Amino acid sequence: MPQMEDDSDPAERSAEEIAVARALALLRVRLGWSSDSETRDATLARFAPVAIALHRASGSAEMPDAMSGIDDALGRFETWYEETHGVSFWMLFEIPMQDTPRVDF
């Protein structure tokens, strides 16, 4: 995960770190990533700036500027993902998840 800026107050840094951790955990759940891999770790690390931009925008009174930050972070992430993997990041959401059989004991 990228380092947070040192000039923010500790409470805001902590809130930002929590927001990023929650966003990355939610992304892992949504994509069905229950285990780690080098590729998944790299993807999550590259997605962290998007989560940071979303968190910062949520507390911003300047919505157009905040949206610009999200657009920029998401654009950089999407470009990196497509250049690295040869497909759009959004294709991950199109992969069907296998049903897990339920076993009653």
For 12, the 3-state DSSP assignment is helix
Instruction: State which residues form the domain around 37.
Output: 33-94
The total domain count for the chain is: 1
Inside any domain, residue 72: yes
Question: Is 59 part of any domain?
Answer: yes
Instruction: Tally the residues of the chain.
Output: 105
**How far is it, in rounded angstroms, from Cα 102 to Cα 105?**
10
Report yes or no on 21 lying in a domain: no
Please report the pLDDT score of residue 98 as a whole number. Answer: 63
pTM of the model: 0.74
Residues of the chain with pLDDT under 70: 1-9, 60, 63, 96-105
- Residue 42 is assigned to a structural domain of this protein: yes
Please indicate, yes or no, if residue 105 is contained in any of the structural domains. Answer: no
- Per residue in 23-36, pLDDT (tens digit) is 999 999 999 898 99
SS3 call for 71: helix
pLDDT at 4: 47
Burial of 73 from C-beta contacts in 10 A (0-12 / 13-18 / 19+): buried
pLDDT of the residue at 1:
47
